[in-house]
Amino acid sequence: MNSFAFSNNENSNPDTIDHCLCVIQNPIRARSCGFGEKDRRPIDPPPILRLDVRADQTQAKSQRTTLFLLVQCELMDEYGVKSCNLVSIPISRSISNIPSISDEESGKPMSGLVQLQQPERARNLTGATHSNAYHLKDDRNTKGIFFIFNDLSVRTEGIYTLKFTLIDFCPRGPHGTPSGVLSVAFSAPFTVYSPKKFPGMTESTRLSRAFAKQGIQIAIRKVGHSKRVADGHYDAEDKNQGTNSRKESDSQMAVDFITDPVTSTNPKRNTFTRIPIEHVLSDDQES
């Protein structure tokens, strides 16, 4: 399924601006963050949308109109039909009010042997679910109006799509009411993995790098043996690689010290004096 969009401007005239959202960077994968807030992992790569404004107008007028534009992001199913914004929090059953044998014999109703708590609901899509308009240059040095979602996380694993809704909050008309929804776009499907199955973050795209150089807070990563210090979002496998490399260096140091043994000068104290290897070899030959 490819990303697609449609505009909500039906009657276009020279004084009306026709807006159309276009997803230019689709999400690929993410690691589920569960129901805690300490281990949130962002959707990778960050979704980025471009706004195409179709009207004969000056650049200054375009700058003014984007001040009231906002894009809202929602989590949908794989086909973009069903909303997945809310998810039930797993709860444990509390067994209470279990009637005794005397209650059973007295003919009291047996319903309520197990009292279940009402399931709580939480947002499945967390983070910054809204984005303002940014006037930036893309990786081809072309100016444009962009909406960037660099802080989105999903709690539960599965295959999802993202729904983006462009809303105009500029007061218009005699009553000063907002114009409402101007355009809607959907991302391509992406997969949210469990922490054990997550294959790791991808290398940052050229578009992400271009926006990061212009001041947008996008974590920049490189694949390979780099530790991705920029954002800290590298997986456990990378951490293990770093640990293994340190173990190898420690092992090499241990081998170096074997060729130059040490002996204790005082058995009651943990102090040692280094003895040349040739002295040890000569003592072994005499014995």
Is the residue at 211 inside a domain?
A: yes
Same-domain check for residues 107 and 132? no
Whether pLDDT at 116 is above 70: no
Q: Give the residue with greater pLDDT, 257 vs 133.
A: 133
Whether pLDDT at 106 is above 70: no
Q: Give the residue with greater pLDDT, 14 vs 167.
A: 167
Same-domain check for residues 146 and 248? no
Per-residue pLDDT tens digits for 125-156:
999 999 999 999 999 999 999 999 999 999 99
In this structure, which amino acid lies at residue 154? V
Q: What is the pLDDT of residue 170?
A: 76
Same-domain check for residues 219 and 258? no
Same-domain check for residues 15 and 30? yes
Mean pLDDT of 167-189: 81
Distance CA(111)–CA(278), nearest Å, equals 87
Same-domain check for residues 100 and 115? yes
Is the residue at 178 inside a domain?
A: yes
Last residue of a domain, one of 66, 98, 121: 121
In this structure, which amino acid lies at residue 253? M
Confidence band (pLDDT; 50, 70, 90) for 19? confident
Is the residue at 254 inside a domain?
A: yes
Confidence band (pLDDT; 50, 70, 90) for 90? confident
Same-domain check for residues 221 and 251? no
Per the prediction, the chain carries an average pLDDT of: 73
Mean pLDDT of 81-107: 64
Beta pairing partners, 194:
none
Q: Which residue has the tokens 């004084």?
A: 15
Is the residue at 239 inside a domain?
A: no
Same-domain check for residues 92 and 220? no
> Of 56-60, 135-139, 176-180, which range is least confident?
56-60
Mean pLDDT of 167-172: 80
pTM of the model as a whole: 0.64
Is the residue at 79 inside a domain?
A: yes
Confidence band (pLDDT; 50, 70, 90) for 183? very high
Highest mean pLDDT of the ranges 65-69, 72-76, 120-124, 253-257: 72-76
Distance CA(178)–CA(171), nearest Å, equals 5
Mean pLDDT of 213-237: 61
Same-domain check for residues 95 and 177? no
Whether pLDDT at 186 is above 80: yes
Mean pLDDT of 232-237: 40
Is the residue at 271 inside a domain?
A: yes
Mean pLDDT of 114-133: 82
CATH code for the domain in which residue 159 is found: 2.60.40.3960
Instruction: Yes or no: say if 25 and 207 are a contact pair by the CB < 8 Å rule.
Output: yes
Same-domain check for residues 72 and 94? no
Is the residue at 274 inside a domain?
A: yes
Among residues of the chain, what percentage have pLDDT more than 70?
Answer: 54
Last residue of a domain, one of 191, 213, 234: 234
Is the residue at 219 inside a domain?
A: yes
Range of the domain at 188: 4-85+124-234
Distance CA(278)–CA(142), nearest Å, equals 72
The distance from CA 114 to its chain's CA centroid, rounded to whole angstroms, is 38
- Both tokens of 228, joined, read 């991705």
120: phi then psi, degrees, rounded to nearest 5: -90, 150
Q: Domain total for the chain?
A: 3
Same-domain check for residues 181 and 279? no
Confidence band (pLDDT; 50, 70, 90) for 120? confident
Same-domain check for residues 10 and 44? yes
Last residue of a domain, one of 71, 104, 121: 121
Same-domain check for residues 75 and 93? no
Q: Give the residue with greater pLDDT, 100 vs 93.
A: 100
